[in-house]
Amino acid sequence: DADVTQTPRNRITKTGKRIMLECSQTKGHDRMYWYRQDPGLGLRLIYYSFDVKDINKGEISDGYSVSRQAQAKFSLSLESAIPNQTALYFCATSAKGQGAFQPQHFGDGTRLSIL
């Protein structure tokens, strides 16, 4: 789905730098999520948001922060990057659904390398 767009697609940076990954969507979904993918570990949830200004921690939120100031945008920040944050990061969205599963739709990912 080209309508979940992540920028940048690739980034190489140094330890200690502040980095922001952007996610924007044109699907009109309320729910947005950030995951990281590491080989052999699957996808792990970092943060999620149900609406503008709503922020919830996932299972691995330490070292990360997020901002949801518009329905269509959800940004992930690494305040002071460290090498073990090197990973593939995915943004996902899902529609609002009362009591029903709404599929999550993923962006193309951002490959982040921290030296």
Question: Which stretches of the chain bind other proteins, using CB under 8 A?
Answer: 1, 30-31, 33, 40-45, 48, 50, 58-59, 90, 94, 96-109
Nearer to other proteins, 17 or 57 (CB): 57
Task: Please name the residues in contact with 25: beta carbons below 8 A apart, sequence gap of 6 or more.
Answer: 3, 4, 5, 32, 72, 73, 91, 93, 107
Residue from 41, 86, 57 nearest 66 by CA? 57
Q: Minimum Å distance from CB 54 to other proteins? A: 8
Q: Minimum Å distance from CB 69 to other proteins? A: 18
